[in-house]
C-alpha cells in the first residue's frame, strides 16, 4: 500500500516532489483529475463529487492514506467527506493546516486557544472557490488573533499553467498581485494557497518584492506528512509501487509534468 496524492491536475506535483525529497522511501500514487481541471471555478457540490471519485480511485489503487494536494478540494470537500464518514482504516488529509500552523508558529496538533502571532498582514492567493469558502480564514481564526487576511481570487492562473502557457500565467500573477496590493500595500507574508502556484513562485516573489515572506506549502506538507507517518507507521504500507495516474490525456499530462519537474514522468490512464 502506497500513499495517495490527489489534485485536480498537475499542481499537486509540487507536493509530490517535496514529499519524495523528504521521504524518499515512501511509495506514492499520484492522481491528477486533469479531465475536470480547473476545480476553482466549480461549485462546492461538484468539487465534492469529483474529489470523492478521485479519492476512491486512490483507495482502489491500494492507498489507505490520501493527501488532498489541492487547496480547492481541501477547502470545499474535505470536511464534508470526513463528516459523512470514511471507510474503516482509510484516511484523507488536506493541505491547509500545515501551512496555517507554520504561519501561526504552532507545532503539529497544538490546539491551545488562539493567540497573537508575529505576522499581522497576510495576503492569500488562491482559486475563486477556495477564496469563496473562507476555509483559510476559519482555520486561522482557530489559532491566531489580530491577523488581517486579504484574499485575492486568482482567476485564470490554473488554466494557463495546465495549458503550459507560462507567459500568460506570469502576466496574470502580476495583475493579481497588483490587485491585492491595492487593498493591502505591505503584506508581511503571502500564502500561495493553490498547489499550482509554486510553479510561479518566482513571479509571485518578484511582484510582491523582497519584504514579503512567501510561504511554501509543499515543503510544509511534506514535513507534516513525515511527522504523521512517525505517529502512524501502519499507514505507510509495504508496497514499493509508485505510479502516476490521470483522468486526462496521459501523453499530454506526461509532457507537462516532465517539463515542470525537470525529470521524466510517465502518466497512465486512471
In whole angstroms, how close is the CB of 37 to ligand DGL at the nearest point? 5
Torsion (CA) 194, 134, 146, 214 in degrees, nearest 10: 10
Residue that has been written with the C-alpha cell 506514492 in this structure: 28
DSSP 87: P
How many positions of this chain bind ligand DGL (CB under 6 A)? 17
Nearer to ligand DGL, 2 or 161 (CB): 161
29 binds ligand DGL (CB under 6 A): no
Q: Which grid coordinates are listed for 185? A: 500595500
Name the phi and psi angles at 243, rounded to 5.
-155, 165
**Of 1 and 257, CB closest to ligand DGL:** 257
Residue nearest to ligand DGL (CB): 40
Options 34, 51, 72, 104; binder of ligand DGL; rule CB under 6 A:
72
Out of 30, 39, 204, 244, point to the residue binding ligand DGL (CB under 6 A): 39
CB atoms near residue 125 (< 10 Å):
26
What is the closest distance, in whole angstroms, from the C-beta atom of residue 259 to ligand DGL in the complex?
A: 17
Instruction: Report which of 104, 125, 2 is spatially closest to residue 62, judged by C-alpha positions.
Output: 2
Q: Mark the segment that binds ligand DGL (CB under 6 A) among 2-10, 18-26, 207-215, 249-257.
A: 2-10
Q: Does 194 bind ligand DGL (CB under 6 A)?
A: yes
Contact between 161 and ligand DGL by CB under 6 A: the answer reads no
Q: Return the C-alpha cell found at 86.
A: 470514511
Count the neighbouring beta carbons within 10 Å of the beta carbon of residue 224: 21
Q: Does 8 bind ligand DGL (CB under 6 A)?
A: yes
Per 3-state DSSP, what percentage of the chain is helix, strand, and coil (rounded to 5)? 50, 15, 35
Q: Is 94 in the site for ligand DGL (CB under 6 A)?
A: no
Residues that bind ligand DGL (CB under 6 A): 7-9, 11, 37-40, 70-72, 127, 130, 158, 194-196
Amino acid at each position: 500500500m502506497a500513499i495517495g496524492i490527489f489534485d485536480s491536475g498537475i499542481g499537486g506535483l509540487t507536493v509530490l516532489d517535496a514529499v519524495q525529497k523528504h521521504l524518499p522511501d515512501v511509495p506514492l500514487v499520484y492522481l491528477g483529475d486533469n479531465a475536470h481541471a480547473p476545480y476553482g471555478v466549480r461549485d462546492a457540490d461538484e468539487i465534492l463529487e469529483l474529489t470523492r471519485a478521485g479519492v476512491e480511485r486512490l483507495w482502489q489503487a491500494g492507498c489507505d492514506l490520501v493527501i488532498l494536494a489541492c487547496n480547492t478540494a481541501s477547502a470545499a470537500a474535505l470536511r464534508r467527506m470526513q463528516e459523512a464518514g470514511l471507510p474503516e482504516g482509510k484516511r484523507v488529509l488536506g493541505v491547509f493546516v500545515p501551512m496555517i500552523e507554520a504561519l501561526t508558529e504552532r507545532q503539529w496538533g497544538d490546539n491551545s486557544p488562539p493567540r497573537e502571532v508575529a505576522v499581522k498582514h497576510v495576503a492569500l492567493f488562491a482559486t475563486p472557490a477556495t477564496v469563496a469558502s473562507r476555509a483559510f480564514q476559519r482555520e486561522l481564526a482557530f489559532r491566531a488573533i489580530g491577523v488581517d487576511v486579504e484574499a485575492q481570487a486568482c482567476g485564470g492562473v490554473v488554466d494557463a499553467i495546465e495549458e503550459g502557457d507560462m507567459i500568460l500565467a506570469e502576466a496574470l500573477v502580476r495583475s493579481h498581485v497588483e490587485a491585492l496590493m491595492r487593498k493591502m500595500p505591505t503584506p508581511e507574508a503571502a500564502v500561495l494557497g493553490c498547489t499550482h502556484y509554486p510553479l510561479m513562485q518566482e513571479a509571485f516573489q518578484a511582484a510582491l518584492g523582497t519584504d514579503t515572506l512567501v510561504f511554501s506549502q509543499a515543503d510544509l506538507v511534506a514535513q507534516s506528512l513525515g511527522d504523521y507517518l512517525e505517529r502512524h507507521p501502519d499507514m505507510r504500507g509495504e508496497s514499493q509501487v509508485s505510479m502516476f495516474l490521470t483522468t486526462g490525456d496521459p501523453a499530454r499530462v506526461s509532457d507537462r509534468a516532465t517539463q515542470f519537474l525537470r525529470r521524466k514522468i510517465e502518466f497512465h490512464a486512471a
